Structure 1
Amino acid sequence: MENIDKKEALSEINTNLKPQNKNARNSFQAFIFFWIGQLFSILGSNIVSFVLIWTITELAPENNTVLSIAAFLAFIPFVVFVPIAGVVADKWNKKSIILVADSLQAALTLVYIIIIALGNLQIWHIYAIGFLRGTCGAFHEPVSFSVLSIMTPKDKLSRMNGLNTLFSSLVRIIAPVIAGFLMIYLDTMWVLSIDIITFLIALVPIIYIAFPNVLESSKESDLKGEGKGSFWGHLKEGFTTIKNIPGLMMIMLMATLSNFFFQPLDALLPNFVRVSHSGGQQELAYFLGFLNLGVFLGAIIMTVKKHWKHMAITITIGLFSTSVGYLALGLVPPGSFIALYIFAALFLVMNPIVNGLFQTAIVFMIPPEKMGRVISVLITMSSIASPLGLIIAGPAADLLGSIPKLYIICGILSAVSVALTIFRKAPWNMMKEGQRLQDEAMKAKAEE
Structure 2
Amino acid sequence: MKLPVTTRPFHAFLVTWVGLVVTWFGSGLTTFALGTFMYQRSGSVTQYGLFQFFYFLPMMLLSPVAGALIDRWDRRRVLILAELGAGVSAALIWLLLHTSDKGLWQLELWHLYVLIALGSCFGTFQLPACYAATSLLVPKEQLGRANGMIELAFGAGQILAPLTVGQVLASIGLQGIVLMDVVSFALSITLLLFIRYPPTPPLTEEAQADQKSLWRETVSGWHYIRARPGLLQLMVFIGVLNLVTGMVIVLITPLVLSFTDVPTLSRVMSFAGVGMVVGAVVMTAWGGPKRRVHGVLGFYLLSAFALFAAALPPTALIVAGGAFVFIMCSPLILSCMQAIWQSKVPPALQGRVFSVRRMLGLAATPIAALISGPLCDHLFEPLLAPGGALEHSVGRVLGVGKGRGIAFVFVVLGVTIIVHTLVSYLSPRIRNVEDELPDALADHSAPPDSVPTPGTAAVG
Shorter-normalised TM-score: what interval?
0.7 to 0.9
Return the alpha-carbon distance in structure 1 between the equivalents of residues 161 and 446 of structure 2: 42
Following TM superposition, by how much is the alpha carbon of 1:52 offset from its aligned partner in structure 2, in angstroms? 0.9
Following TM superposition, by how much is the alpha carbon of 1:183 offset from its aligned partner in structure 2, in angstroms? 0.7
In structure 1, what is the equivalent of residue 372 of structure 2? 393
In structure 2, what is the equivalent of residue 173 of structure 1? 159
Following TM superposition, by how much is the alpha carbon of 1:121 offset from its aligned partner in structure 2, in angstroms? 2.7
Following TM superposition, by how much is the alpha carbon of 1:422 offset from its aligned partner in structure 2, in angstroms? 2.4
Give the length in aligned residue pairs: 415
Work out whether residues 310 and 322 of structure 2, in 8 Å CA contact, stay in contact via their aligned partners in 1.
Answer: no
Q: After superposition, where does 1:193-204 map in structure 2 within 5 Å?
A: 193-204=179-190
* Equivalent of residue 37 in structure 1, options 15, 19, 25: 19
Q: 1:410 to 1:221 in 2, by over 3 A?
A: closer
Q: After superposition, where does 1:236-385 map in structure 2 within 5 Å?
A: 236-275=219-258, 278-306=259-287, 308-326=289-307, 328-334=308-314, 336-385=315-364
Following TM superposition, by how much is the alpha carbon of 1:100 offset from its aligned partner in structure 2, in angstroms? 2.2
Q: CA-to-partner distance for each residue in 1:390-417, whole Å, 9 max, x for gaps?
A: 1111110121112111221122123222
Q: After superposition, where does 1:17-56 map in structure 2 within 5 Å?
A: 26-56=8-38
In structure 2, what is the equivalent of residue 73 of structure 1? 54
Does 2:412 correspond to 1:412? no
Work out whether residues 59 and 123 of structure 1, in 8 Å CA contact, stay in contact via their aligned partners in 2.
Answer: no
Q: CA-to-partner distance for each residue in 1:25-60, whole Å, 9 max, x for gaps?
A: 713212212221221111111101111101102221
Q: CA-to-partner distance for each residue in 1:329-379, whole Å, 9 max, x for gaps?
A: 421322x11111111111232222222122112212111000111101111
Q: Please give the secondary structure, in 2, of the residue aligned with 1:250.
A: helix
In structure 2, what is the equivalent of residue 11 of structure 1? none
* Equivalent of residue 110 in structure 1, options 78, 85, 91: 91
Following TM superposition, by how much is the alpha carbon of 1:153 offset from its aligned partner in structure 2, in angstroms? 2.6
Return the alpha-carbon distance in structure 1 between the equivalents of residues 417 and 268 of structure 2: 22
* Equivalent of residue 227 in structure 1, options 196, 210, 214: 210
Q: Please give the secondary structure, in 1, of the residue aligned with 2:93.
A: helix
Q: 1:171 to 1:261 in 2, by over 3 A?
A: closer
Return the alpha-carbon distance in structure 2 between the equivalents of residues 79 and 54 of structure 1: 24
Q: 1:429 to 1:37 in 2, by over 3 A?
A: same
Return the alpha-carbon distance in structure 1 between the equivalents of residues 7 and 301 of structure 2: 39
Q: Please give the secondary structure, in 2, of the residue aligned with 1:259.
A: helix
Q: 1:40 to 1:203 in 2, by over 3 A?
A: same
In structure 2, what is the equivalent of residue 128 of structure 1? 114
Percent of matched pairs sharing the same residue: 21
Which shifted more, 390-399 or 400-409?
Answer: 400-409
Q: 1:428 to 1:109 in 2, by over 3 A?
A: same
Q: 1:311 to 1:101 in 2, by over 3 A?
A: closer
Work out whether residues 56 and 362 of structure 2, in 8 Å CA contact, stay in contact via their aligned partners in 1.
Answer: no
Q: CA-to-partner distance for each residue in 1:93-140, whole Å, 9 max, x for gaps?
A: 323322222112222222222222222432112211221121111122
* Equivalent of residue 186 in structure 1, options 160, 169, 172: 172
In structure 1, what is the equivalent of residue 443 of structure 2? 441
Structure 2: give runs of 5+ residues left out of the alignment. Answer: 382-404, 448-460
Return the alpha-carbon distance in structure 1 between the equivalents of residues 201 and 213 of structure 2: 14
TM-align CA RMSD: 2.6
Which shifted more, 396-405 or 78-87?
Answer: 396-405
Specify the code of the residue in structure 1 equivalent to 2:266: A
In structure 2, what is the equivalent of residue 144 of structure 1? 130
Q: 1:227 to 1:439 in 2, by over 3 A?
A: closer
Q: TM-score, normalised by structure 2?
A: 0.83
Specify the code of the residue in structure 1 equivalent to 2:337: F
Specify the code of the residue in structure 2 equivalent to 1:58: Q
Q: 1:279 to 1:412 in 2, by over 3 A?
A: same
Q: 1:440 to 1:201 in 2, by over 3 A?
A: closer
Work out whether residues 66 and 355 of structure 2, in 8 Å CA contact, stay in contact via their aligned partners in 1.
Answer: yes
Q: CA-to-partner distance for each residue in 1:411-438, whole Å, 9 max, x for gaps?
A: 212322222222211110104557x969
Specify the code of the residue in structure 2 equivalent to 1:300: V
Specify the code of the residue in structure 2 equivalent to 1:177: L
Structure 1: give runs of 5+ residues left out of the alignment. Answer: 1-22
Work out whether residues 237 and 424 of structure 2, in 8 Å CA contact, stay in contact via their aligned partners in 1.
Answer: yes
Following TM superposition, by how much is the alpha carbon of 1:310 offset from its aligned partner in structure 2, in angstroms? 4.1
Q: 1:145 to 1:388 in 2, by over 3 A?
A: same
Return the alpha-carbon distance in structure 1 between the equivalents of residues 339 and 444 of structure 2: 12
In structure 2, what is the equivalent of residue 157 of structure 1? 143
